[in-house]
Amino acid sequence: MSERRPAQFRHLGPVLYPAGLFMQKAMADLVRSGEPDQILVVEHDPVYTLGRHASPEDIHVDAAFLKAAGIRVHRIDRGGQVTYHGPGQIVVYPVCDLRGGRRDVGRFVRNLEEAMIRTAGDFGVTATRLSGCPGIWVGDRKLGALGLHLRRWISTHGLAFNVSPDLRPFGWITPCGMRDKGVCSLHSLLGDDCPTWDQAADRLSFHLAETMALDPLAVPAPSLSVSATTWRRTLTGPEVLVMLRQPVEGLWWSSVTGMVDPGESLAEAAIREVREETGLEGRLLPLDYAHSFYIDPRVLEIRAGKPHFNRETCFHMEVSPGAVVDLNLAEHSAYRWCSLEEAEDLVLWDGAKEAIRRLGRLLSGQ
C-alpha cells in the first residue's frame, strides 16, 4: 500500500456557490505551497453550473423561470457540461496535490467513484460505473456526478452525491449532456430509510480517506458570526437598512453583521450588533439559514497562514417605521433605507445578498 498522505477534511455544511469557488482557489494556493490536501465537504444553494463543454441550450427553461425557481447559473472551469447542485446533495471538493507519484488522473477519478459506490453500499444501494459515463449509476440513472479541473497538478471541483435533493431541476437541463439517462438519489431509492445529509457525508468522507490513502488531520472549528437584516414597513413595501463601511473598514455596503462573543448565544450576539451598529431595537427572528465561507486574510488585514473559515447564522429584525438610526461612526460613514432589490444590489457579500433574498421570500409568503 502506498504511503498515506495527510489531509484536512472540512465539513462546512451550506456554502453559497461563489463562496465555494473562492475557497477552492484559496485552498489550491495553500496546497500548492506544501500544505496538506484540503477536502471540502459542502452543500450548495440551487445552481446550474456550466462546464467548459456546456452550451446555454443545455438549460431548457428561460431566465424568468430560473428566477422564480431560485436557481442561479454559473459558468466554471471544470470539464463536462451542465449539472445541478442544490440542498440535499453532498458536494466534495478534493483540493489535492497530484504532483510526484500521484500524477494519474484516471486513478484519481476511479478513487472518487469508488468512495461514492461504497457510500451507497453502506445504505443498501448497489451502484456501479457505466463505461464512457463518469460518475456512479443505479441502472441508467446517475446517483453521483464527477467534474474536475487540474492546474499545475492541483485538483479543484470534484463530485456531487445525491442524498435527498429536489430532482425536478435535473429535468430542466440536459444533465452532463446525456439525453437518454436519468438521475436518482438515495431518497428516491430508499424513501423513509434514506440517511441524513450528515450521516451520508460522514461515510463518504471515511471512504474518500480510504480510497485516496489520506490520513485525516484535526481541523479547528470555524469562527462564528451573525447577520441581522434590519428592515421596516412602508407604504411602498419593506425597506432594508444598509450601511457604508468607513474607508479604513473597506468602503462597502453591508447589513448588520458581527462576531459572536464568548458566552453569547447567536441571538444575543445579533441583538447586540443591531444595537451597537444602529441604535435600533426590534423583534429578532431567525431566517433559518446559516452558511460557511473562507475569510480572505487581506479583507480582515490578518496575517496569512492557516486557513480561516467562518460560519454565519442569519436573522432578521423588524423595527418601527419611525425609528431613528444612531449610526456607529467608528464603523460606518453613511446609511440608506432601500427596497429589497436595491439592497441586494448594494451589499457586497453573497451571504448578505442571500439573507435579503430569503427575507423577501419570507415576507411574500413563499
To the query of whether residue 96 is one of the catalytic residues in this protein, the response is no
CA dist., res. 48 & res. 125, Å (int)? 26
Alpha helices, H only, the chain: 17-32, 63-69, 105-122, 186-190, 197-211, 266-278, 297-300, 340-346, 350-364
Q: In the structure grid, which three cell numbers stand for residue 279, read together?
A: 441604535
DSSP code string of 104-155: -HHHHHHHHHHHHHHHHHHTT---EEETTEEEEEETTEEEEEEEEEEETTEE
In the set 176, 184, 194, 338, the catalytic residue is 176
CA dist., res. 353 & res. 366, Å (int)? 17
Using the CB atoms, write b or e for 152-189: b if 16+ within 10 Å.
eebbbbbbbbbbbbebebbebbbbbbeeeebbbbbbbb
Sign of CA dihedral 244, 245, 246, 247: negative
CA 351 to chain centre: 10
> What are residue 332's DSSP bridge partners?
245
CA dist., res. 259 & res. 248, Å (int)? 18
Using the CB atoms, write b or e for 300-328: b if 16+ within 10 Å.
eeeeeeebbbbbbbbbbbbbeeeeebebe
CA dist., res. 19 & res. 161, Å (int)? 20
Sign of CA dihedral 5, 10, 11, 16: negative
Instruction: List the catalytic residues.
Output: 176
